[in-house]
């Protein structure tokens, strides 16, 4: 049916090792597996791409234009600083879901502002690993 692109930003490759008290003990592969299972259960395909480099994430968003029906993105720290990612998301016509394992609004002051939020359909945050499934299901509900 549709292709959903799951994008993972900087430091998410360290999930399961980095600050487990905040991000949990699940690995990125675990989270991607949950997202893929949710997509496939609804008859969709999920592609995943992780990068610690802003330009590579932007290129992935550009490549999704006209090819993917939705993007689910955990921008990591780029959430708060990357106007370039925000611009790339604005140029994507499909469904866009911002995803965070933790609740940025309940953390440090600098994490409370998302520069990508104005360009997404909705945000899932604070639910840990389950958020990956929820974000894919939310994206599918808007297709």
Domain coordinates of the chain in residue numbers? 3-134
Active site residue 44: no
Tokens 């953390």, residue? Answer: 107
Q: What pLDDT shows up at residue 103?
A: 75
What token pair was written down for 21? 């008290």
28-41 vs 130-142: helix axis angle to the nearest 10? Answer: 30
Active site residue 83: no
pTM of the predicted protein model: 0.94
Between strands 45-50 and 3-8, the pairing is parallel
Q: In Å, how far are 21, 54, 71, 128 from 17, measured between CA atoms?
A: 10, 22, 26, 14
| C-alpha closest to that of 50 among 14, 26, 97 | 14
| Burial (0-12, 13-18, 19+ Cβ within 10 Å), 108 | exposed
Strands (E), 9-107: 45-50, 70-74, 95-100
- Number of other CB atoms surrounding residue 109 within 10 Å: 6
CA distance 116 to 98: 8
Per residue in 62-79, pLDDT (tens digit) is: 999 999 999 999 999 999
| CATH code given to domain 3-134 | 3.40.50.9100
Q: What pLDDT shows up at residue 40?
A: 98
What token pair was written down for 50? 């992780």
Per residue in 110-130, pLDDT (tens digit) is: 777 999 999 999 999 999 999
What token pair was written down for 42? 């609804």
Q: What pLDDT shows up at residue 106?
A: 62
The residue ranges of the chain whose pLDDT is under 70 are: 106
80, 100, 119, 132: the active-site residue? 100
Residues 6+ apart with CB under 8 A from 108: none
23, 44, 48, 62: the active-site residue? 23
């Amino acid at each position: 049916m549709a292709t959903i692109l799951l994008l993972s930003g900087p430091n998410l490759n360290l999930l399961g090792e980095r600050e487990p008290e905040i991000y949990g003990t699940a690995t990125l592969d675990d989270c991607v597996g949950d997202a893929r299972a949710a997509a496939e259960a609804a008859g969709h395909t999920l592609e995943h791409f992780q990068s610690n480099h802003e330009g590579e994430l932007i290129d992935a968003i550009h490549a999704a234009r006209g090819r993917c029906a939705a993007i689910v993105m955990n921008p990591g720290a780029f959430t708060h600083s990357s106007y370039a990612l925000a611009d790339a998301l604005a140029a994507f016509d499909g469904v866009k879901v911002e995803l965070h394992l933790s609740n940025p609004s309940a953390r440090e002051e600098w994490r409370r502002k998302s520069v990508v939020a104005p360009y997404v359909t909705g945000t899932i945050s604070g639910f840990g690993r389950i958020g990956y499934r929820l974000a894919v299901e939310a994206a599918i509900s808007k297709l």
